[in-house]
Chains A and B, each alone.
Chain A
Amino acid sequence: MSDVSANAVGFVRTETVPQSAPPSNAAGPAKWVKDNLFAGVGNSILTILAFIAIYLILAKIMPWILNGVWDAPTLSACREVLDGATGGCFAVISERWNQLLFGFKYPSDLYWRPALAFAMLFLAAAPVLFFDLPRKLLVFTGLYPFIAFWLIWGGPVYYPIMALVGFVVAFKVFERLEKQNFALALGAGVLGAAIVWYLGTMIGPDDAARKAGSLFAAGLEPVPSRDLGGFMLNMMLGVTCVSLSLPLGIALALGRQSSMPFIKYICVIFIEFIRGVPLITLLFVASVMLSYFFPPGTGVDLFIRVVIMITLFSAAYIAEVIRGGLAALPKGQYEAADSLGLNYAQATRLIILPQALKISIPGIVNIAVGLFKDTTLVSVISMFDIVGMIRGPILASTDWNGVYWELFSFAAVLFFVVCYGISQYSQWLERRLATDHR
């Protein structure tokens, strides 16, 4: 994109041609083994060492897995089954999978709700992750947060609908006015949403139900957020915080690139502060300090406080990635936008950000993976995410006291699957973007 001279001619090879394979008569498995495993003395020694390492690892792990017990009510029962032989007590996973996934307080007859929300997540994320899908699917992505919120927390359907209406009003007002003036449109949009929400909370679900039909009071059984736990909590924190931190990160990145020194330095200070302290200190802030910043009497939920702090945390990192994307855009793009008479907001929104974000996607995905792994830190402030569940209720229970490896392996596998999947996606995307003509 930035290499204009390459655009000037039809086709320019930007990389050296990879070496082509040798003629087939020089190939064959024996030759492959010799070339790739036993080329020279040093190489052979390495190969042997590698084989020994692999053997040692497998010799420890394979019996443990293959000999594993999947069905036993307690650890002692499991040990009896094993009768002294090596083997994992995976029974703890089959017995406690629900706690590992949903926490120990989420009502078990309601598991279908978070599970459904999880399944719908793929549908909602698909159009964001794969540009080729029809853009219309984005409508569902927009609805998803409200649906997922309602499914997981329950309560009257009135609230998510109210919130949604507020956003729709804001969006419509904004769309109406944005061609006139971006700042005005934004302000009016926020105001519109605020009015809707204010009126909405004034009326409340019961009144609305009386006036407009019982539908509004209908709802799912509510679940308080301190009852959320397990891997579900990690997923929720990861998805929520990454989504919320994107807009904030963009704003911070733009602010850091600003020509106005005051705004620039505010952003620099914020970003460097957040990046300079460990996430755990921010979580301490969430657990013991943040409530002081809210007006007296507003008991803000721990979950929300944690979301706030993790969002700030990841926004700072995302801002740095996006700043890299902004810096990679050629100056000519800004000049062309200027010379056409676009103002700052228009140029940023229509020309600069779409390109800068595209460059930054792989970096943002990396941040998201890191953040998802970091959600396990909430176990330190005694929230019961998957690690908190293992360290707390499950290991402490008399039935399973001492089942260490099986549980952590299970958590490790879950994280590995998600993180490895996302990073494979990121690499695929990088390759695709490299060849994309856009």
Chain B
Amino acid sequence: MTIMTDPPKGAFRLSMLLNDTRYRSLTLQVIAAIVLALAIFYLANNVVSNLTRLGLNINFAFLGAPAGYDINQRLIEYTSQSTNLRAAFVGILNTLLVAFLACIMATIFGVLAGVLRLSNNWLVSKLMAFYVEIFRNIPVLIWILIIFGIMTVVLPGPRAFRGEDAEASMFLGISAFTNRGVYLPGPEFSRIFGETGILSAGIGWLVALAVLVGSFFGARTVNKRATRIQEATGVRPATMLTNLAIWFLPIIAFFIITGLSFEIPELKGFNFKGGIKVGAPLIAIWFALSIYTGAFIAENVRAGIQAVSKGQTEAAGALGIRPGRIMSLIVLPQAMRVIIPPLISQYLNITKNSSLAILVGYADVTATLGGITLNQTGRAIECIVLLMLFYLIISLSISAVVNVYNNTIKLKER
């Protein structure tokens, strides 16, 4: 149906390939395909002849060989005898860890700064504007180095904690802030199924998470019931106390039953042992990414809130809705629609910028796979291709989420 059913009379001429709307686009695409194929062939040919000239080949077997280097900050078991693949995997987890932490903290910074910038307090709003401009206009790389510098120069080394009259002392006696990192009390469960330790700490945390998820659904049920009652009778029952109880009682009970205790870090030899160690590089990159991206998020938040026009607020006010409720019922839900897509793209930026961790020696995937492994094995093409593949997968997944979100929003708006 899309093509005219009565074509012009006369035989096919070659010039019709370009001059006839039916063939023109196909012709151009075929030409483009040929040009592209030639270009790819040319480049591939160059690669092959370069590699043969240098006696190299493409081979991913190095991934199975022992990596031969240590990684300080790691989430899973790893020794220098582990494979390169495992090193890459440690790096991937580290990338995800720092990206995740930075996303949360950047959101907090950004939302705070964005809302405060709209505050009618002149000084606070100017201060926030200053924060945004300073951080947006200086490269994140410089921020990472500056914050890493603050960590290493300003904080005391572990040895400062030694001796009777030490220069530094542990914060509240339980955590140590040193230039090698921050040592925090490490929680552990002493009493899961007695002292047998059937459940390791990791599983204990999973159970704790499950308890929290249960609380979430419990609280939701209570709130829904309250809404139903409000719709039926016009009076909303008080849910505050019930909610608090649902959120806190189960998890506290769980901790008591399992006997949650904390391992306090101790200074042993030249360094602290025990507890949780958050290395200085992780903190530097985490904090730098958060505060830098927070400045951008602040702008998004501000724009989002301002986009919800004043008319909306006034209309709601005219309906007699209380100001506090106006923010939560009218302004924020609408602002969220404007804020969330750029917010997610900022999360994407955080993930990509976390690759700068290599500068301060944080072992993210760029530093392990794209750094040490690449340099030690000399497998440049393989490492870089894998590295790009990893980031691509992350980015595409995040854009898929954005698309789904945008589509649901569109559906609701119709």
Contacts and interface: CB of A to CB of B under 8 A. Distances in A.
A113 interface: no
A96 interface: no
A260 B36 CA distance: 15
Given A374-B139, A412-B142, A276 B395 contact: yes
A411 B25 CA distance: 51
A201 interface: no
Interface in A365-382: 369, 373-374, 376-377, 379-380
Contact of A281 (B49, B140, B381, B384): B384
A281 B391 contact: yes
Of residues B49, B123, B366, which shows the largest number of chain A Cβ atoms within 10 Å of its Cβ?
B123
Interface in A307-349: none
B127 A281 contact: no
Given A46-B119, A296-B49, A408 B139 contact: no
A54 interface: yes
B32 A281 contact: no
A36 interface: yes
Interface string B151-165: 001000000000000
Contacts of B149: 404-405, 408
A278 B353 contact: yes
A5 to B, nearest CB: 20
B138 A412 contact: yes
Interface string A45-60: 0110011011000000
Given A47-B124, A277-B388, A293-B47, A262 B33 contact: yes
Interface in B106-153: 116, 119-124, 127, 133-134, 136-142, 145-146, 149, 153
B300 interface: no
B123 A47 contact: yes
A interface: dominant SS: helix
Contacts of B391: 276-278, 281
Residue from B29, B134, B137, B358 having most chain A Cβ neighbours under 10 A: B137
Contacts of A408: 142, 145-146, 149
A434 interface: no
A263 B33 CA distance: 8
A1 interface: no
B140 A373 contact: yes
Interface residues of B, number: 56
A37 B399 CA distance: 42
B352 A50 contact: no
A16 B137 contact: no
Contact of B122 (A16, A36, A277, A292): A36
A280 B355 contact: yes
A185 to B, nearest CB: 16
Interface string A284-298: 110011011111100
B307 interface: no
B409 interface: no
Contact of B356 (A272, A280, A412): A280
Interface of B: 25, 28-29, 32-33, 36, 43, 46-47, 49-51, 53, 116, 119-124, 127, 133-134, 136-142, 145-146, 149, 153, 310-311, 352-353, 355-356, 358-359, 366, 370, 374, 380-381, 384, 387-388, 391-392, 394-396, 399
Given A415-B138, A419-B136, 18 more contacts: A16-B310, A36-B121, A43-B121, A260-B28, A284-B370, A284-B374, A285-B384, A289-B380, A292-B51, A292-B381, A296-B49, A296-B50, A373-B140, A376-B139, A408-B142, A408-B145, A408-B146, A412-B142
Q: Which 3 residue pairs across A and B have the least CB separation, nearest first? A: A276-B395, A36-B122, A419-B137
26 contacts: A35-B120, A36-B120, A39-B120, A43-B121, A47-B124, A50-B127, A54-B127, A261-B29, A263-B28, A263-B29, A266-B36, A272-B395, A276-B394, A276-B395, A277-B395, A280-B356, A285-B384, A292-B47, A296-B46, A369-B137, A374-B139, A376-B139, A377-B141, A387-B141, A404-B149, A415-B137
